[in-house]
Amino acid sequence: MDLKEYRNRIFPILECSHFYLVCFVLKNMAITVIDNMHPSVYSDESGNYEDCGVYAMRHMETWMGIIDGHWDAGFLTEMAIAKKKITHLRRSLM
């Protein structure tokens, strides 16, 4: 395996029982930290401290070097959850 073939490098970090990712985008010479404990433009999962390993694994699967802009890791945001609950409530009241 030749690491020069890959544009991005992702390193999972375990610190004080918490997983987060340090990501290197070699094309832009940029470093990004992805951590579900801190709110970001990428996701809406901040506040869930127990599942950091699950978030880290999903982020490793879906992150493709996006530094700015929207990146969908496949987790429901609070707005999506609220819409799903309202739709369910509407159906139950009809």
pLDDT tens by residue, 19-61 = 999 988 887 788 888 887 776 544 555 566 677 888 888 888 8
Mean pLDDT of the chain: 76
For the cut 50, the answer to whether the pLDDT of residue 7 exceeds it is yes
Gap between the Cα atoms of 43 and 75, Å rounded = 7
Give the chain's domain count: 1
Q: What is the mean pLDDT of residues 58-78?
A: 71
Containing structural domain, residue 71 = 3-93
More confident site: 74 or 19: 19
For the cut 60, the answer to whether the pLDDT of residue 80 exceeds it is yes
Write the secondary structure of 64-91 as one string of H (helix), E (strand) and C (coil).
Answer: CCCCCCCCCCCCCCHHHHHHHHHHHHHH
Q: What is the pTM of this model?
A: 0.64
Gap between the Cα atoms of 94 and 48, Å rounded = 34
